[in-house]
Amino acid sequence: MNRRFWVYILLLIFIIPSKVEAQRWKLKRYEASFGVGTSHPFMDIGNNNDGLRSFQLAGTRPAATIGARYKLLQDVSAGIDLSYILFVGIDVDGGLTVHSFTSNTFEPVATLQYNIVSEGRTFGSTSLFNRRGMVNNYNSADFYIFAGMGGILSKASAKDVNGQIDNDAAFFDNNMHYGIVFPVGVGFKYSVDAYWNFGVEVGGRFSLTDNLDGYATPYSEYNDRYITTSFKAIYKIRNDRRGVPIFNKYGR
């Protein structure tokens, strides 16, 4: 065999696996997720400082979310998340609670996600292929950023110094409110087998409303904002060559 023949063989060894690697994302374009985490409000009731200095550990409360996502490109995906978020804010004077609020909210948002690090490019992966495509993909990780737009439906209640419901509080509106929010954040997910990812996501929400806590005082200079942290379990769904999801062939 001449030298040119061996050059061709070496090129095939390097090119064919890279092409398979580049196309395997098309075999699992769909994801379904469930997450639980925490919420951290920055609103009228709470610390008087602005920005992150107004963070209150006492105001941290639970949040839960479900979502679905579809890969448009290898590193770009679009998704929808539906979340329940509980907000609490507390005004403290001399170590004593003088005023507080509790707000139950429902948040639907649509986001675009971009993978900065995708599927083992940094952490490595262990993959197995057969003639149908990828069988498994272990030890891979994604680090991504996301941004989008959505809404939030809120219903707040005010509490007095004794912790009792106070519907007569000044500047308080106990009606249901709906506002627009703009989520932006970062996330990390790690693949543990061919179908499951686990990860964490941290996102800030910038709203166009000042009523998520039920208060809109003439002294307020900013709309309500909040941060959510979510720990997610993500299930990857196979699809056929037409892009139709397959639900009845787990692991095959």
Tell me the per-residue pLDDT of 106-122, one tens digit each, with 9 for 90 and over.
999 999 999 998 764 54
* Mean pLDDT, range 144-151, rounded to an integer: 97
Number of domains the chain is built from: 1
- CATH number of the domain bearing residue 222: 2.40.160.20
Q: Is 246 contained in some domain?
A: no
Q: Is 252 contained in some domain?
A: no
Q: Is 33 contained in some domain?
A: no
Nearest residue to 32 (alpha-carbon basis) of 249, 232, 241, 244: 232
Query: What's the domain range around 60?
Result: 38-132+143-237
Q: Is 7 contained in some domain?
A: no
Q: Please give the pLDDT value at position 243.
A: 73
Per-residue H/E/C for the chain:
CCHHHHHHHHHHHHHHHHHHHHHHHHHCCEEEEEEEEEEEEECCCCCCCCHHHHCCHHHCEEEEEEEEEEECCCCEEEEEEEEEEEEEEEEEECCEEEEEEEEEEEEEEEEEEEEEECCCCCCCCEEEEECCEEEEEECCEEEEEEEEEEEEEEEEEEECCCCCECCCCCCECCCCEEEEEEEEEEEEEEECCCCEEEEEEEEEEEECCCCCCCECCCCCCCCCEEEEEEEEEEEEECECCCCCECCCCCCC
CA 66 to chain centre: 9
pTM for this prediction: 0.77
User: Would the pLDDT of 165 be above 50?
Assistant: yes
Question: If pLDDT is split at 50, 70 and 90, which confidence band does 138 have?
Answer: low
Which neighbouring-strand residues pair with 215? 172
Nearest residue to 42 (alpha-carbon basis) of 231, 230, 222: 222
Nearest residue to 125 (alpha-carbon basis) of 116, 134, 133: 134
**Is the separation of the CB atoms in 148 and 111 below 8 Å?**
yes
Question: If pLDDT is split at 50, 70 and 90, which confidence band does 175 have?
Answer: confident
Q: Is 244 contained in some domain?
A: no
Question: If pLDDT is split at 50, 70 and 90, which confidence band does 168 have?
Answer: low
Q: Is 67 contained in some domain?
A: yes
Q: Is 62 contained in some domain?
A: yes
**Is the separation of the CB atoms in 96 and 90 below 8 Å?**
no
Q: Please give the pLDDT value at position 193.
A: 86
Q: Is 173 contained in some domain?
A: yes
Instruction: Dump pLDDT digits (tens) for 207-248.
Output: 999 889 888 777 777 889 999 999 999 999 888 877 777 876
